[in-house]
Structure 1
Amino acid sequence: MAFRAPLTNHHTDGTLCPPEHKHTSSGKPLHPGCPDRAYTQAVCSCGQWQMQQPGKGYVNESRRRHLATHRIPAGPLLRDVLPFNMR
């Protein structure tokens, strides 16, 4: 199962800040109807992790680190499980 933790931006009042509301790197709105981007949130579909912070980059980096913990390690190579005379 592939886990997901999408990033969502939110206004100060808690409402969703849609993707078409562009912002500067500091979070100031470039869209005329956007009051601000107060925080960015990521919630993992595993149900065990979520993060909400004002810094979008920090949330994204933490999200990537968390999703990496869900990766299934590769099993042994075929050459490691076959008898020597079958290689």
Structure 2
Amino acid sequence: MPRHSITVTAYHADNTVCPSEHLHTRSGKPLTEGCAGRDHFMASCNFSTWTSSRSSTKNYSTAQGRRHRTEQQHAESAAPPKGPAVLRQLLRLDADD
């Protein structure tokens, strides 16, 4: 089963990606010449097409990603088992029953 990983990406005001090499102050003002400054953040999931809403802080985007990953894991655990587990249940090969 693939592992869920959440990526938080910073964007400039014109919706271009702000590379992680760009240095900024805590408020998002650029310290790297030629950078427009970080305007917003978005989290995305490598496992599905989910993308968070725009957020002005990285912490909030990270929290949205954690929430999404937790919800996905609960949804997967509620899904019926696949493969050999299903066969064991159908054939009742366990001697304890």
- Whether TM-score is above 0.5 comes out as yes
State the partner residue of 2:17. Answer: 16
Structure with more helix by fraction: 2
2:51 is aligned with 1:52: no
Judging changes above 3 Å, is the alpha-carbon distance between structure 1 residues 49 and 41 closer, same or farther for their aligned structure 2 residues? closer
Give TM-score, length-normalised by structure 1: 0.69
Residue pair 1:43, 1:51 contacting (<8 A) in 2 also: no
Structure 1 stretches of 4+ moved >6 Å: none
Q: Identity of paired residues, percent?
A: 34
Give TM-score, length-normalised by structure 2: 0.63
Report the CA distance between 1:60 and its aligned residue: 1.1
Alpha-carbon RMSD across the aligned residues, in angstroms, is 2.2
Judging changes above 3 Å, is the alpha-carbon distance between structure 1 residues 5 and 20 closer, same or farther for their aligned structure 2 residues? same
**Aligned-partner residue type, residue 16 of structure 1:** V
Cα distance in 2 between the residues matched to 1:26 and 1:61: 19
The count of corresponding residues between Structure 1 and Structure 2 is: 76
SS at the partner of 2:60? helix
SS at the partner of 1:52? coil
Q: Which runs of 5+ in 2 are unaligned?
A: 78-95
